[in-house]
């Protein structure tokens, strides 16, 4: 159900923007694991991966953030926004929230 993935992604964004990091982490992670539905809504799945990696990097979990980007690359390689985020995280640059 592609719409379930869409709703889950937006719940994670809302939790993240609302200062609920444990809830955001759990929802981002669950959405990331739903690769079967992600194939029906690949852009939403990729945006979730990008938002989750930025969330993790902002929380100081650089290794896990890069691991999420590895999953995104395996799902759909060659996405410029994923490469750009990986570069910023690797360089230790400030990562802005996906939404604010």
- Which residue is listed with tokens 């570069």? 87
Work out the average pLDDT over 19-42. Answer: 96
Q: What is the pLDDT of residue 63?
A: 98
Sign of CA dihedral 77, 79, 84, 86: negative
Q: Where exactly are the structural domains of the chain?
A: 2-91
pLDDT band at 4 (very low <50, low <70, confident <90, very high): very high
- pTM, to two decimals: 0.95
Q: What is the pLDDT of residue 48?
A: 98
Q: Which structure tokens are listed for 61?
A: 């979990």
Based on its alpha-carbon atoms, the radius of gyration of the chain, rounded to whole angstroms, reads 12
* Distance from the Cα of residue 11 to its chain's centroid: 12
The highest-level CATH class for domain 2-91 is mainly alpha
User: Does position 62 have pLDDT exceeding 90, yes or no?
Assistant: yes
Q: How far apart are CA 21 and CA 98, in angstroms?
A: 14
């Amino acid at each position: 159900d592609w719409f379930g993935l869409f709703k889950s992604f937006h719940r994670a964004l809302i939790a993240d923007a609302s200062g609920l990091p444990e809830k955001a982490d759990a929802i981002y992670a669950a959405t990331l694991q739903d690769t079967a539905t992600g194939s029906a809504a690949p852009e939403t799945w990729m945006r979730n991966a990008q938002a989750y990696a930025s969330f993790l990097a902002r929380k100081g979990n650089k290794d896990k953030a890069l691991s999420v980007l590895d999953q995104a690359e395996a799902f759909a390689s060659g996405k410029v926004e994923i490469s750009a985020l990986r570069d910023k995280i690797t360089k230790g640059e400030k990562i802005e929230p996906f939404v604010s």
